[in-house]
Every structure is written in structure tokens, then in C-alpha cells.
């Protein structure tokens, strides 16, 4: 059976998902991409992936099996309101930070199947770790379509809605923290006269190798200890980080990210408990 994915929002995340779905071989899929008027962007998606594009997404709701809201959290309220006039049981998936299931369900007709997915930037290379949850109104085929989307951009983990709110920073935003760290290392290398291109190559392989070590199942503390001789050079560097409260800084960054995501998604304080 042919399934049509309608993307409302045609930015970076929509493109990663479209790219992923296009390479999900053997699937009978159609894709329509819409935004709020950026025609160049739609032209780009058409020429890169051959998908149908429109600025009038409302007229494509009926023919769609899955509607993916790949736009900022602030845009959801108005779009859901419009969607509610046309939708007839199609699966609605949002990838926006801070949204949650209730925020999707409330404006839509009762029983509309909804899912919330929190991917990350590595979806672009098929290496996202995506958190997801869904309402119990999804039928078997809709769960399969959700899984198809998730698998097309990397790995995924089913979570409770509350866990996604708490983990948004850790999986969705922490890549930016890591890139900040990488950039600081590259700058430190530049201070010793190392060219940027060379430093970037070294730092990215260092991060990749460290990630592979982490995936082997050894704890980060054991891995850290394995490269830290007491009183040695690495220990001297770690002392600087710890004296500056590195762990606490990260904790505060996670908290600030989650609070902002909840605010942008319109999550009420009392929902967070």
C-alpha cells in the first residue's frame, strides 16, 4: 500500500528525514514538502530528492497517511488549528522541542493518533539518536510508519513523554555542546600554531574514537581513569576543568536547555512534575 508523508516545515530536520525516507529501499512512499513560503527551499528539496512540494499543505492533508510537523514549536498552535479542520485519523508526528502529546492532541479531533519525536542533528548523516513516544491511538500500520521514519535517520529509543522533556538537552542539544568543546580544542591547537584544517581532522577523529570506546559498554569514568595516570599530564588538565566546575556547568546547561524548550513548547509548569 502506498503511504504519503506530508512534511509541514521544510528546513534542516525535514530534509534529513526526507533524505532518510528516500533511501529506505523497497518502500512504497510518496513525500510532499511544505513550508510557509520559502520557494527556494522547496525548489532545493524538489531538485535534490524529487519530492512534490507545495505552499498550500492544507489541500494535501486528505491524501496523506502521515503528517510531520517539522517546524518551530511556536508555529504549532496555528498549524494544528488549521489541521484540525481537515484531518481524518492520519498520524501526526511532531519533532519540535518541548511539545509533548497533549499539546498535539488537544487541538485535533478526539482520537487523532499523535507521536512526538526528538531527533538530533546527526539525522543528516543517518546517525541520529532519536527519542520517541506515541499515544495509544496509533494502529499497527501507523506504528510501522513511525518506526520507518525513525529508522531512516538513525537509532531510536522509546521513552515516556516526561523522559523526552528531561532528555531533550542530553540528546537533542548536547551535539551543540560537543561542537563547542571541539571548537575550543581546535582554538587551543591553533594557539600552538597548528593549522585549523589539521586540528579539525585530529579533533574529529579523537571524538569519533572516544565515542566508539564509549559504545563498547565501558563506563565513561573507567575510560577516563584508563587515560589518567594519577599526578600525570592528563590529570593536570582534568584538574583545571574540575576546579572550574565542569560537571556543574554541564548540569546547568542541561537544565537551562530543558527549561527553555518547555517554555517554547508552551508546557505548563504543573505538567512538568
Residues that bind ligand NAP (CB under 6 A): 8-14, 35-38, 41, 70-73, 75, 78-79, 95-97, 118-121, 172
Grid look-up 528539496 returns: 45
Cβ within 8 Å of residue 221, ≥6 positions away: none
CB of 6 to ligand NAP, least distance (A): 11
Separation CA 173–CA 72 (nearest Å):
15
Taking the least distance from each CB to ligand NAP, the nearer of 35 and 133 is 35
Closest to ligand NAP by CB, 38 vs 141, is: 38
Cβ-based nearer residue to ligand NAP, 71 or 114: 71
Phi, psi at residue 69, to the nearest 5°? -90, 95
Residues in the chain: 273
- Angle in degrees, CA 135, 117, 54, rounded to 5: 100
Q: How far is the CB of 11 from ligand NAP (least distance, A)?
A: 2
72 known ligand binder: yes
What is the smallest separation between the CB atom of 2 and ligand NAP, expressed in angstroms? Answer: 24
CB of 120 to ligand NAP, least distance (A): 5
Collapsing DSSP states into helix, strand and coil, what is residue 110? coil
Does the annotation flag 107 for ligand binding?
Answer: no
Q: Cell numbers of 236, please?
A: 593536570
Q: Which residue has the cell 505538567?
A: 271
**Based on CB atoms, which residue is closest to ligand NAP, 99 or 199?**
99
- Fill in the DSSP letter of residue 16: H
Residue 70 counted as an annotated binding residue: yes
Please enumerate, by residue number, every residue annotated as part of a binding site.
8-13, 70-73
Please enumerate, by residue number, every residue annotated as part of a binding site for NADP(+).
8-13, 70-73
Amino acid at each position: 500500500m502506498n503511504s504519503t508523508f506530508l512534511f509541514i516545515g521544510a528546513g534542516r530536520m525535514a530534509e534529513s528525514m526526507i533524505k532518510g525516507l528516500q533511501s529506505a529501499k523497497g518502500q512504497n512512499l510518496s513525500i510532499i514538502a511544505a513550508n510557509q513560503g520559502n520557494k527556494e527551499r522547496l525548489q532545493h528539496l524538489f531538485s535534490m530528492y524529487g519530492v512534490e512540494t507545495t505552499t498550500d499543505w492544507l489541500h494535501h492533508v486528505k491524501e496523506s497517511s502521515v503528517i510531520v510537523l517539522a517546524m518551530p514549536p511556536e508555529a504549532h498552535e496555528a498549524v494544528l488549528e488549521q489541521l484540525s479542520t481537515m484531518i481524518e485519523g492520519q498520524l501526526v508526528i511532531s519533532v519540535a522541542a518541548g511539545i509533548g502529546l497533549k499539546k498535539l492532541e488537544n487541538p485535533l479531533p478526539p482520537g487523532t493518533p499523535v507521536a512526538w519525536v526528538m531527533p538530533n542533528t546527526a539525522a543528516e548523516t543517518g546517525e541520529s539518536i532519536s527519542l520517541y513516544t506515541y499515544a495509544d491511538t496509533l494502529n499497527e500500520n501507523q506504528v510501522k510508519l513511525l518506526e520507518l521514519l525513525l529508522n531512516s535517520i538513525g537509532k531510536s529509543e522509546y521513552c515516556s513523554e516526561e523522559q523526552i522533556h528531561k532528555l531533550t538537552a542530553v540528546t537533542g542539544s548536547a551535539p551543540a555542546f560537543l561542537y563547542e568543546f571541539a571548537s575550543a580544542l581546535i582554538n587551543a591547537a591553533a594557539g600552538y600554531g597548528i593549522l585549523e584544517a589539521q586540528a579539525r581532522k585530529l579533533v574529529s577523529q579523537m571524538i569519533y574514537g572516544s565515542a566508539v570506546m564509549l559504545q563498547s559498554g565501558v563506563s565513561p569514568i573507567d575510560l577516563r581513569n584508563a587515560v589518567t595516570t594519577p599526578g600525570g599530564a592528563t590529570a593536570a588538565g582534568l584538574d583545571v576543568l574540575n576546579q572550574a566546575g565542569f560537571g556543574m556547568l554541564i548540569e546547568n546547561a542541561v537544565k537551562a536547555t530543558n527549561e527553555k524548550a518547555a517554555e517554547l513548547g508552551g508546557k505548563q509548569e504543573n505538567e512538568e512534575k
